[in-house]
Amino acid sequence: MATNESNPPQPLMRRRGGRANTARPPDGRATTLYDMAIVAGIVAIVTGIVLATLFVARGGLDANAAQTGGPAAGQLAQAPTADEGRGIPHEPFKAVDPHLPAVPDGAVKHFEVDVYEHVTKVSDDLAPLQVWSYSVNGVEHRGTGASAPLVVNLGDDVRIDLLNGSTSKMHVAFPHSIDFHSAEVAPNKAFVTISPGEKHTLRFKAKHPGVFMYHCATEPVLLHTGAGMVGVMIVKPRNLAPVDHELWITQQEFYFGPEPGGMPDQFKMEAKEPDVIAFNGYARQYAKAPITVGRGERVRMYVLNAGPSIWSAFHVIGTVFDKTVIEGVVGHHAQTINLAPSQGGWVEFTLDQEGSYPFVTHAFADMVKGAAGVLRTEHAGGPGE
């Protein structure tokens, strides 16, 4: 949460004071000419100080504005609570299915990616918020801030049709774009910004396996990604060993403005002060409704840290990752994976005893903002968390 401390604003400049050095004439008598010279000197000094003060103050103001564009840290808007957001129309929460979708049929993997601007909650505790999201082949995760995943196999030819609001129910008011980290293409041609209602097609070959970010690249890119326009594209390697469960988890930040149901707060984005950090677009959704797996079954979780700005330390409590494949690096015997914003990978593990196994970012100050869920075995018994 943003702090509520009312710190006094920092002075823009260090004040310079002191008296001008008004030396007396050597003989103690002030001549008119000498007095005029002293007065002129004082005027010059005072003018200089005033001009310097204005210059420093102006420079300080400009530097301050350029640095933060808004209020100082500690003076950011407080996120409106759920109570304060009562009566604001918003989409009802619907849990995001964390099971990995199948690779589409066809020689060319064709995805219709649509943009929608919507008002949804992303946390039980806070008011609704305006979020910008992507749907994929008609799959929308309304009621959350999640965008749908895309899954292909290594070597697949991919065709993306980006629609910036295909119909009026997408409520798109802004220009948007899409940037695929999995693609090797000229970004100035492939990741172009299009106006509301427009369509843009891009094609590429998925030449690298991994868990890749996609996002809006329209300026200001921090606002567009911080408003929700992030998602995951998974490129499966050939000969990936079968497992019992394949799950996708995307860590994502949300930044509330002061108005319930209003726009997210770009100042908070610049200050890296998210109000909510969620898995798959809604704080603690899988803590409230755990993901069920069987004891001893092999689980593969594809994890993306979509940021836009906070690191992830993904960890499953009560197990050790037998295998990790993070940004092309294969590891074993790992407790936590370290994901910079935009990085991803997959982890494989089993839950060896019946029970509930929380998964978190082990950066606990981020976890308490909502980045926590639970894997629960079929015969866990006992409390869910």
Minimum distance, C-beta of residue 166 to Cu ion, in the bound complex (Å): 15
Binding positions for Cu ion, rule: CB under 5 A: 176, 216, 218, 224, 229
Closer by beta carbon to Cu ion, 266 or else 338: 266
Task: Report the residue number, 224 or 315, with the smaller CB distance to Cu ion.
Answer: 224
C-alpha distances (whole Å) from 287 to each of 70, 122, 291 are 35, 14, 8
The alpha carbon of 145 is separated from its chain's Cα centroid by a whole number of angstroms, namely 11
- CB 241, CB 193: distance < 8 Å: no
- Cβ proximity to Cu ion: between 173 and 186 the closer is 173
Pick 145 or 290: Cβ nearer Cu ion = 145
Q: In whole angstroms, what is the distance from residue 281 CA to residue 371 CA?
A: 10
Q: Smallest distance from the beta carbon of 91 to Cu ion, in angstroms?
A: 19
Q: Could you tell me the smallest distance in angstroms from the CB atom of residue 176 to Cu ion?
A: 3
Beta carbon nearer to Cu ion, 141 or 369: 141
Residue nearer to Cu ion on the CB measure, 176 or 300: 176
Angle CA 304–305–306, to nearest 5: 100
Min CB(274)–Cu ion separation in Å: 18
Least distance from Cu ion to the Cβ atom of residue 217, Å: 8
How does DSSP classify residue 24? P
Residues 232 and 302: beta-carbon distance below 8 Å:
yes
DSSP secondary structure letter of residue 8: P
> Are 305 and 225 within 8 A, CB to CB?
no
Closer of 118 and 224 to Cu ion (Cβ): 224
**Cα gap 385→375, rounded to integer Å:** 9
CB of 218 to Cu ion, least distance (A): 4
Q: In the complex, what is the shortest distance from the CB of residue 179 to Cu ion, in angstroms, rounded to a whole number? A: 10
Q: Cα–Cα distance between 299 and 247 in angstroms, integer?
A: 8
Q: How far is the CB of 224 from Cu ion (least distance, A)?
A: 3
Could you please report the per-residue DSSP string of 206-261? --S-EEEEEE--PSSHHHHHHTT-EEEEEEEPTTPPP-SEEEEEEEEEE-B-SSTT
Min CB(21)–Cu ion separation in Å: 60
Nearer to Cu ion, 217 or 351 (CB): 217
Report whether 286 contacts 279 (CB < 8 A). yes
Which residue, 230 or 339, has its beta carbon nearer to Cu ion?
230
User: DSSP 3-state helix, strand, coil percentages of the chain (rounded to 5)?
Assistant: 15, 35, 50
Provide DSSP, 126-145.
Answer: B--EEEEEEEETTB--TTSS
Q: How many other CB atoms are there within 10 angstroms of residue 314's CB atom?
A: 28
Q: Which residue, 165 or 262, has its beta carbon nearer to Cu ion?
A: 165
Backbone angles phi, psi at 372, to 5 degrees: -150, 140
Which of 242, 180, 179, 232 has its CA nearest to residue 206? 180
**Smallest gap, in angstroms, from Cβ of residue 332 to Cu ion?**
39
Angle at 311 between CA 278 and CA 375, to 5 degrees: 45
Residues 6+ apart with CB under 8 A from 368: none
